Amino acid sequence: MKIPPVKGTRDFYPAQMARRNGIIDGWKKVSIRNGFEEYDGPIFEYLTMYQIKSGQEIVEQLFSLQDRGGRELAIRPEITPTLARMVNQTINSLPRPIKWFAVPRLCRAERPQKGRLREFFQWNIDIIGENLGQADAEVIFTALDYLRMVGLTSKDIQAKISSRKLLAAVLTDIGIPPEKLDSLYAVLDKKAKLPAEAFEAVLAEQVPDRNQAKKVLDFMALDAIGQVREVAGTNETIMDAVRDVEKIFAMLEWMGVGEYCRFDPSVVRGLAYYTGMVFEVHDIAGELRAICGGGRYDNLLRDFGGPPIPATGMGMGDVVLEILLQERGLLEKQAIKPPLEYFVTFAEQLLGSDMYRLAAAIRSRGHSANFSYRQGGLSKQLKDATAQGARKCIIIGQEYVERRQLVIKDMATGVQESIDVEQFLSRLSS
């Protein structure tokens, strides 16, 4: 009986693994050069951690289990709660700002579809202990820094930036009661996912007053932060939020990624814990889910029993990213395929044991080496060397028997040289 992989998961054969390693190594490289330190946590946590952050409805979206002691656990669907727990445990000993990143493997029990699987990898970066807009801008910049590095331009992607603080101020000014804001955020977050008429119908259920609903729609249709200034009037709460957003855009311009960014008040992010800047990066055509998204979440650590510490961050999954890179012809360029440095061959059967000894000696000195399992002639071994992409082929032949010398062939140029075996190994060691 053939057993297929579980729906919504992936098998990583060597070619796919090379691409996965390339993406993850790129995430790590960009994180480190932007000043972030790596962390990780357990693959399962207490179920209540995710309920604290997202409510009871999260239980249907993750894989939960009960251990032998009857404790309710869950395989992590995200790593932010783990981050909050870890920071809270050691908050007094951590220098601030805390700039951490992680690349966890995550699982969510949802219906697989394009751009969304049950198991995936996600790049998370977070800055904790800094409430200035510079931290928000740096999170956005770091995401764009990676996307630029892999070859995506402002003609391919766009960072859509908004603010929960601004949205709350505008909605309150329109006349929406503060206690209704959280439920309204979840509705507004659907704007880009629904046809206009369907969205307006859903909005009408939350905002039955037509005049108020029109003002909400008018605000969400703005495409420049300056336009908010024009309609804000004398509302200082709105203007304060506008100035915060303008500072973020100014810094992104200074850092050279302004062309990638635009103000888009329709970006809401459905989760209730966002408190300030929110953003998503999308493909220009708008055919895919968000490549990444995040924002400011100043209350999360407090919700997990810690002190009220400001924080901001983002997450980027590998599934949508792979689709976009594939469509742009950039995916294969990410593949990490470490070259084979040496392929060891022998010209005569009696030298087979020397082949194993030499290959082992090369490997023990920190270099890659391989050989053919087939005990065939030299020509067949050379074909294996070519097939495996070896840079150089070492031939153990008559010169080795007579003078302890190896013949080293450069597989790209065909040039051969003879070298004493001890001199060769000494050169590898140095």
- Convert the pLDDT of each residue in 174-203 to its tens digit: 888 988 888 888 888 888 888 888 888 888
- Convert the pLDDT of each residue in 299-310 to its tens digit: 888 988 889 999
Q: What is residue 113's DSSP assignment?
A: B
What band does 56 get if pLDDT is binned at 50, 70 and 90?
A: low
Listing DSSP states for 229-244 in one string gives: HHHHTT-HHHHHHHHH
Structure-block tokens of residue 11? 């098998």
pTM, entire model = 0.91
Q: Over pLDDT 90: what percentage of the chain?
A: 67
Structure-block tokens of residue 10? 């992936």
* Domain formed by 14-334, architecture: 2-Layer Sandwich (3.30)
Residue 60, pLDDT > 90, answer no
Listing DSSP states for 93-110 in one string gives: GS-SSEEEEE--EEE--S
Q: Which residues of 416-425 are buried (b: 16+ CB within 10 A; e: fewer)?
A: eeeeebeebb
281 closest CA partner among 190, 157, 189: 157
More confident residue, 327 or 401: 327
One of 1.25.40.10, 3.40.50.800, 3.40.50.300, 3.40.50.12780 is the CATH number of 342-429, namely: 3.40.50.800
Q: Across all residues in the chain, what is the average pLDDT?
A: 92
Question: Same CATH fold, 342-429 and 14-334?
Answer: no
Domain-by-domain residue ranges, the chain?
A: 14-334, 342-429
